[in-house]
Amino acid sequence: MTSKDFFHKYLWDIIVVGALTLVSGGFAIYLAIPKNSNEHIANVSKDSTVILSIDLSVESATVREVAIQGAMTPMTLGVKKNAICVLESGCRTHDCIYAGWVSDSTHPIVCAYNHVSIQVGPKSLYITV
Amino acid sequence: MKHAQVHKLALMAMLLAFAVVLGVVDYAIPFPFVPGAKLGLANIVILVALYELGIGEASLIDLGRVFIVGGITGRIGQLGFFMSLGGAAASLLMMILLKFLARKMTIIGVSACASITHGFAQVAVYCLFVQNITAFYYYPLMSLIGIATGILIGILSERIIATKVIERQKEHYGFNQPKKKTVEPMAATSLIDESDKKEDESNHQP
Amino acid sequence: MKHLSRFFLSTFLLVTVSCSSSALEWPSVGSYYGAMDTNIVIELHDPANLVTADDVYQLFFAYDHWAANTMPYPGVANVYTINQTNEPVVVSTSLFHLLEFAWEMKTETNGYFNPFIGGLADLWKKDLFNTPAPGEESTGVSSENFVPSVPSDIEIQAELDKMNSSSLVFDESKWTVQRLGEGEIDLGGVAKGYAGQIAQKYLAEKSVSQYLVNAGSSTVLLGENYLSSQGTFAVDFKGISGKYTMVKDTCLGTSAMDQQNVTIGGKLYSHVINPVSGSALVDWHGVVLAGEDAGILDALSTAFMILGPAASESLRLKYGLSAMFYKADLSSLVNEGFTLNDK
């Protein structure tokens, strides 16, 4: 098959898939760029409820462990100055652990197995009771 | 006719078995660093079934695959099962729409688009379940990986269809054959009557 | 001259930038801790720098050990120790007063708060949430196979009998507390608030008036808000969406079933057990109280959730509390004393 025939046959595939790739790639690159912000409150949510809010700006450089109970298994979070990560989880794929340390709102950590998500955000104006 | 349907059913059962095996293998292969990303090997069978057998057959195989793989992996009733079901349904719908509405797209393009839709539906089901949209942050990266795996799956499906292995089964056993057009006999008055023609010629001789 | 003016300009900018970056944050420590099975946030502003968040946390840590009923701590006579025997146990003065307080609240609430709720609570927790009893490693049922159920009337009555036949005897001359009967003491419904009250007294003694202590959102101590010109805090509510209130120099106590509840046969059960009937059925989904004494708020919030607005009115007026009762829909909100604003 010549290149002319190739492009003729797959023209619409290239156009549609290429457009989707550009859009997805653009968003992925935008989200991957670290943001310097003063968002330092890590909100740990289980389902739709925030079960824990941690002010990361007052943490020390030494990693501190925080234990939480996920929907299925216990999890251990690691907390240090302006960053949070998942150290241990009972889920199968450990995607939440591979997400590593996060410091801003564009990089949440999600553990689908335990219904837990961790997102760094600005300080809430309200105290919630 | 009945003989053909039995063979068709046997073929569908075999395809379902392939889909289940590929689904279980898929489940066992983790894709690190991107939560929820999978190769989607079972979609090879679904695409082939859709292009060779039809919408109904592909839908049955897809649905059956989701339930059987869910049962084997022990996820029936759990969030992961509903994510698989949602993803499978959405990607099948996208395959059907593109196959019949976007006829200029080949199976590779259809596969890539269905792969993106599969990822979107899975994330949407998860977010609906936990009522938290945080997981959508992973979607752009999942889409890129989905496009790559979708192209790969599409290429494999195209190669399988090109071998005509199912085509030959259909011809041999006589199922899912295109309807033959019956040719109407030409009307008798359109034929030139040779005897009339010779009579005319003789009348016109000087 | 040129270099001097540049130097002063740079210094001025440096000082301005460094000041502005800290203007919107509590200048002292906003620290996060864990104790008493919950998360505790402590934010203080002490110009004299005599008190730190760690000092306040130590109080909660101490009461966490004294009030623990699931395990012993070496060298500490705690609730677990008292639950193992019917002999007088020498305890710390702090635990002595905490137990005295809890026993008084039982009388105050006509039994709708009862420190001997432990056995009944363990029974319901096992059947509703698959939580093992103190001292047990597991219930023997895996989480995948667990189906919530309701304890039988016989089991509930047995625990009620144990509870109602139990009492505490206090000897202040020897600082001993003696448990009579087979009831199990559980101070989970009052310990956090009581510790909060002690923390508040400590801060007052140290002349620290600007503070926020949030213990798991169920006990909240609010002094003045350093960041607000009026010194007030904006407080919103998990169970009441779209509303908030502005408060200062007060304590908040809440009891809610949002995190621990189960529906069985169309009926809603929660971790809040009625000590009089032995039932875990809930009518009200949550209560928010505001008042001066965090310990009283903690004990009463549980009792109020069981009693409801009408039956708890006399206690509310006696202690000068503001109270809000809510269910799943906002139309059933009962508000006694809170000034609510729309977000």
CA distances from C340 to A68, B35, C175, C226 (A): 33, 42, 45, 22
pLDDT of amino acid A41 = 82
Of chain B, the percentage scoring pLDDT greater than 90 comes to: 42
Q: 3-state DSSP call for residue C307?
A: helix
Q: Which of C31, C41, C220 sits opposite A129 (nearest CB)?
A: C220
How would CATH label the architecture of C70-186?
Orthogonal Bundle (1.10)
Q: Which residue of A has its CA nearest to B107?
A: A13
Q: Which of B80, B105, B129 sits opposite A12 (nearest CB)?
A: B105
Chain A contact for B140 (CB, 8 A cutoff): yes
Shortest Cα distance from A46 to chain B (angstroms)? 8
Does residue B111 sit within a domain? yes
CATH number at residue B136: 1.10.1760.20
Of chain A, the percentage scoring pLDDT greater than 70 comes to: 91
Shortest Cα distance from B142 to chain A (angstroms)? 9
β-pairing, C233-237 vs A127-128, is: parallel
Q: How far apart are CA B94 and CA B92, in angstroms?
A: 5
| Mean pLDDT computed over C286-310 | 95
Q: Which residues span the domain enclosing B28?
A: 2-173
Q: Which of C41, C218, C236 sits opposite A126 (nearest CB)?
A: C236
φ and ψ at residue C168, rounded to 5 degrees: -120, 140
Q: How far apart are CA A38 and CA A56, in angstroms?
A: 10
pLDDT of amino acid C20 = 36
pLDDT of amino acid C19 = 36
Answer yes or no: do A113 and B80 touch at CB < 8 A: yes
DSSP code, position B134: G
| Mean pLDDT computed over C213-217 | 89
| List of chain A residues whose C-beta atoms are within 8 Å of the C-beta of residue C252 | 129
**ipTM of the modeled complex:** 0.77
Does residue B72 sit within a domain? yes
Instruction: State chain B's mean pLDDT as an integer.
Output: 83
Residues 170-209 of C with CB under 8 A from A: none
Burial C174-188 (b: 16+ CB within 10 A, else e): ebbbebeebbbbbbb
pLDDT of amino acid B188 = 53
pTM, full prediction: 0.58
C299 pLDDT more than 90: yes
pLDDT tens sequence across B117-159:
998 998 898 888 877 777 787 788 889 989 999 999 999 999 9
- With residue C323 as reference, give the H or E element that holds it: strand C322-326
Q: How confident is the model at residue C275 (pLDDT cuts 50, 70, 90)?
A: very high
pLDDT of amino acid C298 = 95
| Mean pLDDT computed over C314-340 | 91
Amino acid at site A103: S
Does residue B190 sit within a domain? no
Amino acid at site C275: P
Amino acid at site A46: K
pLDDT of amino acid C2 = 57
Helices (H), ranges, chain C = 2-22, 53-67, 79-83, 93-108, 118-129, 153-164, 191-205, 294-319
C237 pLDDT more than 80: yes
pLDDT of amino acid C35 = 75
Nearest CA among A16, A43, A34, A17 for reference residue A104: A34
Does residue B194 sit within a domain? no
Shortest Cα distance from C145 to chain A (angstroms)? 12
Best mean pLDDT range from A18-32, B184-198, C313-327: C313-327
Nearest CA among A82, A111, A107, A79 for reference residue A95: A111
pLDDT of amino acid C166 = 96
List the strands of the sheet with C250-256, edge to edge: C30-35, C38-45, C210-215, C219-222, C250-256, C286-291, C322-326, C334-336
Give the lowest-confidence range in B103-112, B122-131, C61-70.
B122-131
| Mean pLDDT computed over B40-58 | 93
Domain count along chain B: 1
- Chains in contact with C, where contact means 3 or more Cβ–Cβ distances below 8 Å, are A
A127 pLDDT more than 50: yes
Q: How confident is the model at residue A108 (pLDDT cuts 50, 70, 90)?
A: confident
Number of other residues whose CB lies within 10 A of the CB of residue C105 = 23
| List of chain A residues whose C-beta atoms are within 8 Å of the C-beta of residue B134 | 45, 108, 110, 117, 119
C297 pLDDT more than 70: yes
B1 pLDDT more than 50: yes
Domain range annotation of chain C = 70-186, 232-343
Does residue B134 sit within a domain? yes
Give the lowest-confidence range in B77-81, C21-25, C208-212.
C21-25
C12 pLDDT more than 50: no
Q: How far apart are CA B51 and CA B57, in angstroms?
A: 10
CA distances from A35 to A39, A80, A106 (A): 10, 18, 8
Answer yes or no: do A20 and B151 touch at CB < 8 A: no
pLDDT of amino acid C28 = 36
Instruction: Supply C301's token pair.
Output: 């919030």
List the strands of the sheet with A41-46, edge to edge: A49-55, A41-46, A116-121, A109-111
- State the fold for domain C232-343: T-fold (3.10.520)
Q: How confident is the model at residue C23 (pLDDT cuts 50, 70, 90)?
A: very low
